[in-house]
Structure 1
Amino acid sequence: MALTLFKKAHLLASMALILGVNSNVVASEKVDVVASFSILGDLISEVGGDHIKLTTLVKANGDAHVYNPTPQDAQAVKHAQLLVVNGLSFEGWMPRLLESAQFKGKKVTASNGINVLRIGEHEEEHEENTDEKEEVGHHHEGPDPHAWNSIANVKIYVNNIQSGLSQVDPDNSQEYKQNADIYIVKLNTLENKLRKKMEMVPLTQRKVITPHDAFGYLAHDFDLEFMAPQGISTESEASASDVAAIIKQIRRDNINAVFIENIADNRMVEQIVRETNTKVGGKLYSDALSGSNEPASTYLKMIEHNVTTIANALTP
Structure 2
Amino acid sequence: MNDWTVDPERVSGDVRLDGYAGTVGLSETADVYVHGGAVTGELIVDDAEYVYTDVPAEGGGPPGERTVDTAVAGEEDGYVRDVDGDLVVRNVEDVFVADAGAATLSAPGAERVFHDDEATPTKPPDDYEVSVAGWEQTETARDPRDGVAVLGARNEVTIEKAAHDITVYVVGWGNEVTVEGSDADVTTFFVGRDNRVSVGPYLEATTAADSGTDNELHREPIPPEALIQTAESEAKSGLLFGRHRLTWQAPTDEEWCQNCGADADAVIVRRQSDAFYLFGVPVWTFDEGGAAYECEQCSTHVGRVSLSESERREALR
Normalized against structure 1, the TM-score is what?
0.25
Normalized against structure 2, the TM-score is what?
0.25
Q: Using CA pairs below 8 Å that are at least 6 residues apart, which structure has the higher relative contact order?
A: 1
Larger Rg belongs to: 2
More strand by share: 2
